[in-house]
Amino acid sequence: MRGQKLGAGLIAQSQSALPPFILHRPTSLGEAVALTRQHPEAVIAAGCSDLVAQFREGLEPEVLVSVQRITELRAISNNSGVLSIGSGVSHAEGSRSPEIVSTVPALAAAWGSIATVRIRYRGTLGGNLLSRRYRYEMPVILSALGGQMQFHGGDITALPVSSLWERDSLWDRSLGNVGILTAVTVDTASLLWFGYERSMRPVSTVSLAVRKNPVAGLTVSAVCGSEYRQPFVLSHAAEATDITELDPVSVGQVLAAQLPDEAGDYAGSIDYRRHLVGVLCGRLLAEATGNQRKG
């Protein structure tokens, strides 16, 4: 409950109780950037599925910039081993994209497994990332893939998806004006395998990628997510020359051991979480190596 600003008494918190705000609906990226420079505190809106939740949590924007009409934010391309996904792409569009399905089919499959039907058709990639909510799954999925967020019109041009979980001051002050999130890029040239395990959600999810190193060996990158704690990035450098040489059980245990003590919470002790993440990583690696008996 909260007090209605026009003096109507106590009312339930909802978007209908919002005070008036200015709405801008640019049709080009340049126009959107100009608006954010003119109104640094403006709220950026795309699919608005999370924005409504923020309204109910008390957000009262004075200026709102909707980027729904900017078609370039919905572009998906794959050029020279770099997959680029526009920030305005909805979950439904991303999971069915021919470019994504042909390049990283497991990414399309993982994307299609999240959220409800309504949110899949309304929610966007950019909103899922920049909401910075632990329970959202695309940051976990894309961080294991080494995703890079591309910005336009601000003080920076790119940031890793994993930076979303760094301290709040990084986003509130240190970066200054980040501009408009235009896309997320994923380097697919060195990617050997990717998979996502969400069978133990909400307690834990695991996204895992195996890449070939430029010189020698393989790198296994995993991200452990949860509805209750920030995701944690785990990594293991293996001397193997082929993905089939990886031992799912031992590599899974090495990755899980990297979880810090603060990963434990009321939903599971740190010992339980390490055991669970080790099992999930091992399950994914068993699929990657074809050694299902070790999963």
The whole-angstrom distance between residue 119's C-alpha and the CA centroid of its chain comes to 15
Over residues 55-85, the pLDDT tens digits come to 888 889 999 999 999 999 999 999 999 999 9
pLDDT at 11 over 70: no
SS3 content of the chain, % helix, strand, coil (to 5): 40, 25, 35
Q: What pLDDT band is residue 14 in, cutting at 50, 70 and 90?
A: low
For residue 178, the model assigns a pLDDT of: 78
Query: By the 8 A CB rule, do 100 and 83 touch?
Result: yes
**For residue 31, which amino acid is it?**
E
Nearest residue to 142 via CA among 200, 181, 192, 184: 184
For residue 294, the model assigns a pLDDT of: 36
Over residues 90-148, the pLDDT tens digits come to 999 999 999 999 999 999 999 999 999 999 999 999 999 999 999 999 999 999 999 99
pLDDT at 193 over 80: yes
The full set of domains in the chain, from first to last, is 18-66 (3.30.43.10), 74-187 (3.30.465.10), 191-294 (3.30.390)
For residue 175, the model assigns a pLDDT of: 55
**Tokens 């896309």 appear where?**
183
What burial class does residue 49 get, using C-beta atoms within 10 Å of its C-beta: 0-12 exposed, 13-18 middle, 19+ buried? buried
Full-model pTM: 0.91
The HSE-up count of residue 197 (CA atoms within 13 Å, CB side) is: 23
Contacting residues for 210 by C-beta, under 8 A, at least 6 apart = 191, 192, 193, 194, 218, 219, 220, 221, 243, 246, 285, 288
**For residue 56, which amino acid is it?**
R
pLDDT at 12 over 80: no
Contacting residues for 174 by C-beta, under 8 A, at least 6 apart = none
pLDDT at 173 over 80: no
CA distance 88 to 19: 27
Over residues 220-264, the pLDDT tens digits come to 999 999 999 999 999 999 999 999 999 999 999 999 999 999 999
CA distance 106 to 79: 19
Q: Between these two residues, 19 and 23, which has the higher pLDDT value? A: 23
Q: b/e for 120-154, b at 16 or more Cβ within 10 A?
A: bebbbbbbbbbbeeeebbbbbbbbbbbbbbbbbbb
For residue 293, the model assigns a pLDDT of: 46
pLDDT at 10 over 60: no
